[in-house]
Each structure stands twice: as structure tokens, then as C-alpha cells.
Structure 1
Amino acid sequence: MISFLKNNRYLLMAVASVLILPVALASGSLASEVLIFALAALGCNLLLGYAGLLSFGQGIFFGIGSYTLGILLTRTGLPMAFVLVLAIAMGAAVAGLVGWLAIRQKGVYFVMLTLALTQMFYFLAYSTPELTGGDNGLLDIPMPPLTVLGYTVLPNKTAWEYYSFVAILFLLAYWSLQRVVDSIFGRTLLAIRDNPARATALGYNIIHFKMVAFMLSGAITALAGALYAMMTGIAPLTSINYHMSEVILLVTVLGGTGKLIASVLGAAFYVIVSDWLSHLWPRWLLLFGLLLMAVSLYMQGGLWGAFKTLGEMWSRPRGARSEAKKEAS
């Protein structure tokens, strides 16, 4: 039993987060938004925390998922589950294209290329209003029920019913991605991140590994975009611009890179604190910027790193704790 809890502690933390959100929040839409941005941060964390790729192209995949779901739900009679699968596949395919173009560049050149590609996809969406709705976005996206073999599993008529649907998909995605990072593939990504020259010398095709990570990241982020479009009923143009890439990257760094569960912390902090501050002051972004500065200066490992440090300090004997406090002061 102890071994099971230890081996699955991060998955259990994710389950606990899903169960805590309905108790802590009064709004089902806000709770769903936390899990949706946590999904997007999971995809970004795979690239940044495990493959060492700082990508500003996550907004591309988020927007592709939103547009794919919006177009198919508003113009075809395909079932919702099949549409979500197509959105995930489209996200992976576009990520493969973006990765093929950008993955061979290094450092700032890789960052600038992903940013340029984000702008290219943004203007492509803007210039095809007959397909994407242009500046107005795709409107009136429905929230159909989840049906299996003709039976309605989740009607999705209320915000909390939709939260249950999002929570199930989030846990499935988290479990799958945790299996990936705990596998030999995930350990190889860490080796490539820490020492790409040595990994190449050992015979690993680092381009191949980064491409697979890119496609997995694109698939997860496209799922987040599709769920967000279905929740809001609109696929706006802002879902595919560079600002969305910045938000996803911000959520990832806030939580902490290198641990998937940290993405949940970052998403919860960003969504809940943003909502709270927006009710306090119209210029709430100024307050949020000050909070981000504090996190950057004093929590360089993100929220996960801060909680981990506090946990390690608390687990020490009392004498060692007092000595650690003296050293810190």
C-alpha cells in the first residue's frame, strides 16, 4: 500500500486537486478554466521542463484546437467525442509541422522562430474569416452531451456537469503524460535537456525525441483549446495569437518546470488570483505584475519549488530547522 501511494503520489495529487476545486470555488466555469489551463501548461511543461525547449508557439496549438472543434461542431453533425479526437490529432499534426521547421534551431533563434510562426498562424486565421470568423471569431459553439453508443453519459447542461467532463479528460491526460515522463523516453528527454552533446554521442537522435515531445505537447494543448472553446461558446482570434503563448508559458513557469503536478499549481494561481484581482480594481494587471515580480525574485523554482522547500524545512528536526533559519537570515 505504501509503495503504491509513493509510486502514484503525483497522480493522487492531481485527483485531490480535481476534488478540491468544487469545494474551494463557487463557479463551475472558473473551476473548469483552472483545469483547462493546467492542461495547456502540461503540454508546455513537457517541452520546457523535460526537453528544455522554450517555445512561444503554444498559442498555435491552443488556437488550432479551438478552431477545429468550433468548425466541426458548427458545420457538421459529428459527435462531440469524435470531434475532440480530431482536434487532438490536428494539434499533433500542426505541432509536427512547427517542430520540423523550428527544432533544428537553438537558443534565441528557436524562440524567435516559434514566435514568428505564432504570428504567421495568427494572420492566417485573421485573413480567412470565411473559415475562422476573422476578427469576430467563431461564434455559437455548442456544448453537446457526451454520448457513448447512443447513451448520454454526461449531459453537459450545467457548468458543474461540464467541469466533471473536463476533470475526467484532465486526469486521463495527466496520467498518460506522467507515464510518458516516467518512461525511458522521458528520462532520455532529461538527458537531452541537460547535455545534448553527450546524448548525441551515445547514439540518441535528439531531433527525433524533440519532435515526438513537440507533437505530444501540441496534442495536449489542442485539447485544452478545444475544451476552452466549448466552455465559452466562442473560438476568438486571441486564442491563437502570441499573447496566449505568453499566458501558457507564464502559467507553466509560475507553477514550476520539471514536475507535471506543478502545472496545476500555476494554473490555479493564475486563474483564481486573476479573477479575484479583477473584482478588486479595474487595473488589476498592475497588481498581478507585482505578484509575478515577487514570484520571480523569491520563488525561482515556482510555486512547486517554494512548497517543496517549505516541506523539506518542516520535515527536519526542530534543532535543524532553527539552524536553517539562522543560516537563511
Structure 2
Amino acid sequence: MSGFDLRKQVPNVVVWLLLLTMPLWMNAVGGYTQLGTQVVVMGLAAMSLNFLLGYTGVLSFGHAAYFGLGAYGVGMTIRYLVPSTGIGMLVGTGVGALAAAIIGPMIVRLRGVYFAMVTIAFAQVFYFVAFRWNHVTGGDDGLTNWTREPINFGFATLHIEQDPVTFYYFVLAIFAVAVAVMALLLQSPFGRTLIAIRENERRTRFLGINVNFHIWASWLISCTFMALSGTLYALLNNFVDPRALYWTQSGVFVIMCVLGGMRSFWGPLVGAAIYVVLQDYLSSATPNWMSFIGLVFVVAVLFFPRGVLGIFRRKSVE
């Protein structure tokens, strides 16, 4: 039993070794530190969506709304209210969570394509607000004239605004806390209930479980972490525009989950790494880079329906 448990921890050890050492080997393989930071940020976003999609079995095409709300929340706080990275992140995450908590009860009874379409509709509302509110959000030009600020802990100051490596490890620390919380939730009775809803919602109802409440809670948790990833995305670029709220960005998160493997914990992170790296290299080589990524996605869906990690899991079972 102990040997089996140890073998199950191998993927966790490999993932964390790669993440912790990424700034050391990223340049050697033709990348750069900011690209590694983007992988971690988008990996957190994809894992946030997967909490709802992969473990609860509910598809959302509107998660970009909460990603964008987090991004605009931190940017507008730093520019208009107080030049504090920490406060900005709290505001951005809180705004995304509040919006999810309000919208959740309106859509929690819907299923399948109806749920997905309504999430798109709400996301587009936020997109058009950001697009039209020019004098506050910057409209199509984006929110500019702000930058991430150093974080003062009292006894020390973390200069995330200067060194890309320092900012990478700051993002990685936030990622680690968020991932740990998600893992604990999924291993709890609450997480087992979500999996039961995914496998057979009708039987779960017959057990006396409030399915709608659990789906709402899963939705809220997923959107909150998505908003957190949005704050990190805005801080990475020192910029945010309405495209962060657009429905195609939600589609990108779904692609990441499918590429890596929806029913594996680290699958969305792997999918995010594949997507971000392909986007970076292909966009510098050809203006038609989206066509190539679309082709990769089609091949993955046809031949690897369980994602990249699903291939290794199948081999380990065999």
C-alpha cells in the first residue's frame, strides 16, 4: 500500500520540480521568464474552470467574465483608488466572487447547452460594459497608466515590479496556495459529492443531497479562483483590455482543459502550458497561428479524448 501511495505522488513531485526550477531552464529551451509566468497564470485559470467542468460536470462558456473582472478590478484599484498590489488583488478577486455569487442562483437550475449559453450571455454583458465605458475602462484601448507595485510586508519589501524572476515566484506562491485549497476541497466529502453529481445527478438527488446548492458552491469556488488568476494576468502585463472578458477567452480555457485532460488534477495546467507555448512560438512565425492551434485541438479530441495526461494514465493502468 505504501509503495502504491508513493507512486501516486510522482506526478505531483514532477510538476512542482518543473515549476520551481522553471526560471532556471526556461531560457535554455528558447523561452523566457515571463512566458513561464504566463503558463502558471493560465494554468490556474484552466484549473479553476476544471473545478466546475471536470469535477462537477458542468460546462461554462462564460468564465472569461470573472477572469476579466479580476483583471479590471486590480487595474482600476491601483490606478484610481490606492496604489497597492495586495489590495488590488483582493478587490479584483472579491468583485469576481461577488458577481458569481449573484449570477449563480439565476442559472444553477439549467443544464447542458442551456447553462453554457446563459453563461456566455452574462459574460457578454460585462464585455460590453468594459468596451463602452471608455472614460473609466479605456474602452477598446484598454486600461493603461498603471503598474504593479512592490509589496511591503513591514519587515521586508518584495519588488515584484522590477525583477521578472521575483514576480514569477510571487505568482507561483499564489498558485500553490490556490491549488492546495482546490485539492483539499476535492478530497473532502464536498468534493466527492461533486464527482457524484458529475457521474449521476439523478441518483445523487435520490440520496437527499441538495444538488443545486452544490453546483452553485462549485460555480462560486471556480469563479473566485478564476478572478484570482485574472488579477495575476493583469499584473503580469500591467494592462487589461475587454478581450479578457470576451467569450472566445472562455473557449481558450475550455481548450486548455480538454488538451491536458479534464478529469485529471494537473491536466488543465499541462493543457495551458501546451497552448501558451504554441501560441508564443506560432504567433511569431505566422499570422495564422490560430489555425494551427485549432488543428492541434482537433487532433487531440479525435485521438486523445482524455487529454495528454489521459495517455499516461492509460499506459500506467495497462
Q: TM-score, normalised by structure 2?
A: 0.92
Counterpart among 272, 276, 285 of residue 281 in structure 2: 276
Q: Indicate the residue corresponding to 1:208 in structure 2.
A: 213
Q: Indicate the residue corresponding to 1:168 in structure 2.
A: 173
Q: Indicate the residue corresponding to 1:183 in structure 2.
A: 188
Q: Indicate the residue corresponding to 2:22 in structure 1.
A: 21
Cα distance in 2 for partners of 1:89, 1:136 equals 25
Cα distance in 1 for partners of 2:8, 2:291 equals 41
Q: What are the within-5 Å matches in structure 2 for residues 1-329 of structure 1?
A: 5=6, 9=10, 11-26=12-27, 27-77=32-82, 79-149=84-154, 151-313=156-318
CA contact (8 A) 2:71 2:234 kept: yes
Amino acid at match of 2:26: L
Amino acid at match of 1:138: L
Q: Which has the larger radius of gyration?
A: 1
Q: Indicate the residue corresponding to 1:323 in structure 2.
A: none
Of residues 31-40 and 127-136 in structure 1, the stretch that sits farther from structure 2 once superposed is 127-136
Cα distance in 2 for partners of 1:75, 1:275 equals 32
- Residues 134 and 44 of structure 1: CA distance in aligned 2, closer, same or farther (over 3 Å): same
Paired residues in the alignment total: 313
CA contact (8 A) 2:150 2:160 kept: yes
CA contact (8 A) 2:73 2:93 kept: no
**Structural RMSD (CA):** 1.9
CA distances 1:190-212 after superposition (whole Å, capped 9, x unpaired): 11111111111111111111111
Cα distance in 2 for partners of 1:205, 1:7 equals 32
Of residues 14-23 and 173-182 in structure 1, the stretch that sits farther from structure 2 once superposed is 14-23
Cα distance in 2 for partners of 1:7, 1:289 equals 33
CA distances 1:214-245 after superposition (whole Å, capped 9, x unpaired): 11111111111111111111111100110111
Amino acid at match of 1:21: M
- Residues 254 and 311 of structure 1: CA distance in aligned 2, closer, same or farther (over 3 Å): same
Amino acid at match of 1:132: T
Cα distance in 2 for partners of 1:14, 1:168 equals 14
Percent identity of paired positions between Structure 1 and Structure 2: 31
